[in-house]
Every structure is written in C-alpha cells, then in structure tokens.
Chains A and B, each alone.
Chain A
Amino acid sequence: MQRGQRDAEFTEFYAARVRALRRVAYLVVRDWHAAEDVTQRALVKVYRAWPRIQPAGLEAYARRAVVNEALTHATRRSRDVVVEQVPDRPVPPALEAGPIALDAALAALPAQQRAVVALRFVDDLSVAATAEVLGIAEGTVKSHTSKAMVTLRRLVPELSEIQE
C-alpha cells in the first residue's frame, strides 16, 4: 500500500469516526480533554497498524484501541489520587449527600462498567461485540450492565422514574 493511499484512507476513517470514538472514551475517562488525548493516541496506533488491519476489522480494532487507552488512563488516574483520609467505602463523598447528576453517577461506576455502558448504550454494540472489544466473557458484560443499571438508578432517582 502506498503512503498516499494509506493517508487518504486513514483521513477518511478518522473524519467519520473520531467524534464517536471520543464519546466512548469520554464516558470512561469523564473528561473531554483526556478523552481527546486518549482517542488521538489510539488513532495513532490505528494509523501505524493500518496496512495490517483488514477493512472488515477496522472498526473493531479502533474501538478496542480507544477503550484500552481509556481504561489504562482511568486506571492510572485512580492510582494517582492522593487523599488525606481513606474513605470507608469506595464512593465519592458527594454521592452520600443525595441525588446527583448523571455525570457524577457515572463516575461512581468502576471503569470497566463505564466501558461496557459506553459500548453498549452509546456505541450500540451487542453483548457479544462488547465482550469481544473488552476481551471478557459475554456473561461478564451482562453482569456489568446489570450492576451499572442498578447503581445508576440508585444514585440518580430520576432515572428510576422512567418506566418501560
């Protein structure tokens, strides 16, 4: 593959997918600036791997790269947090004060649950496709989904008011 062709194809893919991929990253890292960094790092990897990626697997490859970068970022950031007092429960103090915004509720979910929520409900992936992107079992995806829904309903009462 010639470099010009590779660049043209990548540019087209980038333009079509960067916003959607950044939204997935945002739900995991919860910061637009970090989400953009994460997405760009992942897309650099996609560019470098471009000649090796089969067109049919391009979407999955890019999505996996973004989610992996986002999870790595979220994990590192959580390790970087230093507090004077260790809380009794792994829940941000704000959550104990009562109803909170969706953003804060998402922050209370473990990073991998956020990734499942992002892939399933923002990127519209099936359980099987989500499992493949994250490299986990389909049952684990279902379990993460269920736990995330329970947590979100508990922390954001307005969500529970929406009935099927």
Chain B
Amino acid sequence: MSEHDLSTILREHLTDEPPVGVTSADAIRVGRRQHHARVALAGGAVAAALAVAVAVAPGLIDDSGPGTAQDAASAPPAGVPVPGTLESLAATKVAPYVGALGAPAWDVVDVDGNPVEPADAEAQFFELGYEPAGSALVQLHVAGYAPSEFDQYSFETTCQDNEPDDFSVSCEQETLADGSTVISSVAPYTNVTNTTKKLVTVTQARKHPGKVLWARSFSISTRDGVTAGVSELVRAQSPETAAWLIPVEVLREIATDPDLLDPAAVAHAPFPELTEE
C-alpha cells in the first residue's frame, strides 16, 4: 500500500459523510456573542451583558446620563471577601484621587444575570459603583468564568478585536509572567448607571458629544478564571478633553491586587451557550 493508495482509500471512506448541520451564520452569531461577553468582562457591566445581550447598535445613545445610586440598603454585608476587598481598595486607592466616594452601589449576580447574595455560592459577578464628588463615576468589578474557557475570555486579542469594531480610542494589551492578560483602554459608554454601562462605538460617541461618558479602564483576566477591573468615567466632549483623576498606574494596582483575584471568592460556572445576539 502506497501513500497514494492510502489517500484514495481514506477519501472513499469519507464519501458517506452526513450533510453539514451548522451554518456560517451560527458561527458568526456565537463569535460575536463571545466577543461582546469578553468586552463586557474587560470593562465591567457583566451583569447587563449576560442578562440582556450587549447591544451595540445605532440609535442607542440617550441623554439619561449617570443613573442614581442603587439602593444602598441592598449593599452586601461587610466582611464578605469580594465586597470587603473591593470597598477597601476603593477607600484606600480611589478616594485619595476623587474625594469622598459616597454610598456604594452593588450589583451581584449569577452566571445567568439573576441577583444573588454576595455570600451565595452562585455569586459570579460583582459590580461596585460610586458617584464621588470629584469625578463622574468609578466602577470596580470582579467576575468568575470557567478556567477552561480562558482562551475565550482572555484579553490577549481584545484590543485587536476592538479596533475594527471601533469600540475604543486607545487600547493596550499585555501578557504577564503568570499568563494573565491585562488591558488598559479608553472607550465611550452610554446608559451609564452606578454599576452598569453600555459600550458604544467611537464614531457614535463623537457624533453625540456630551451624551456619553468616557471611561479609562484597566482590566485583568487570570488563568484561574477571574477577571477584575476598574473604570473611571467622566463626562467630556471628547476623550482628548476628558479630565480623569485616577492615574492609570493606580487603576492597574487596583485591578491586579492579589486579594481581588482569589479564584475561591467567585463562582466559575460556564457561560450559557447563547445563540441569540
């Protein structure tokens, strides 16, 4: 039997293949969904990203501006690992730059976007927002994902992916020695509340100056299945005139704080397979 014979036999062996049951449209839908989920993980707003598909379509710009703080009474009890860590980081690292933080607004959800108590085993996404006196908004988040899906939720290619989609005015990616990926970016958002925000394209944002908030963010995705990040959002006519108060180095210190990246502190349920964009 020659190599040519083997090739012939194998081809004959494959002639009774079944018809292809999937389509390019399926692949495109899933690809976009994964992309949006990763973008959401990079910038926070993960609860909104999962509860409703992240919409990035024309006509979404509104003038609602920052929302009011969520019910402060719903804040989780102090001492719970993630909330305690996030609030502590905000007090020690953020407050020196923005002044009094004000009341914290919390959003804690499971993988399906359902609100849960911070101490619940299903608590997977933790969003903390402040409306400090000296700045528009500061948002911090920690989220878990299945470590086996690191390739999907790594930020290794987020900046490259965002470029054609026009989602950021600047984006820098770096892979750390432990394999974690980090990104720092400047991007426009609308429909912003204390714990959520909706990404819009830079083109849309520039068409509606003053109707968006410009966020400077730093985020990390670890090999253990944890993402964390912090964003400072300010109102400005353009990113060039945005007056952020928190230095990027400090944003990095917060997002990469080891206490924040404890994989045991968040759930790691796989993201549901979503077929609708």
Contact = CB atoms under 8 A, between A and B. Distances in A.
12 contacts: A10-B28, A15-B24, A19-B17, A36-B20, A44-B30, A44-B34, A51-B164, A102-B10, A103-B13, A149-B3, A152-B6, A162-B2
A6 B5 contact: no
Contacts of B30: 40, 44
Contacts, number: 98
Nearest to A145: B3
Interface in B3-18: 3, 5-7, 9-11, 13-14, 17-18
Given A14-B24, A43-B27, A48-B35, A1 B9 contact: no
A135 B21 CA distance: 30
Interface in B31-81: 31, 34-35
Contact of B10 (A22, A27, A153): A27
A2 B25 CA distance: 17
Contacts of A122: 7, 10-11, 14
Given A10-B28, A121-B7, A149-B6, A102 B1 contact: no
B7 A124 contact: yes
B238 interface: no
B13 A44 contact: no
B2 A11 contact: no
Interface in A78-130: 102-103, 117, 120-122, 124
Interface of B: 1-3, 5-7, 9-11, 13-14, 17-18, 20-28, 30-31, 34-35, 151, 157, 160-161, 163-165
Contacts of B7: 121-122, 124
Contacts of A51: 160-161, 163-164
Nearest to B19: A19
B5 A159 contact: yes
Contact of B165 (A3, A18, A159, A163): A3
Given A44-B27, A48-B31, A159 B161 contact: no
Contact of A32 (B17, B26, B27, B34): B17
B34 A36 contact: no
A51 B164 CA distance: 7
Interface string A128-164: 0000000000000000010001001100000110111
Contact of A164 (B2, B14, B24): B2
Nearest to A43: B27
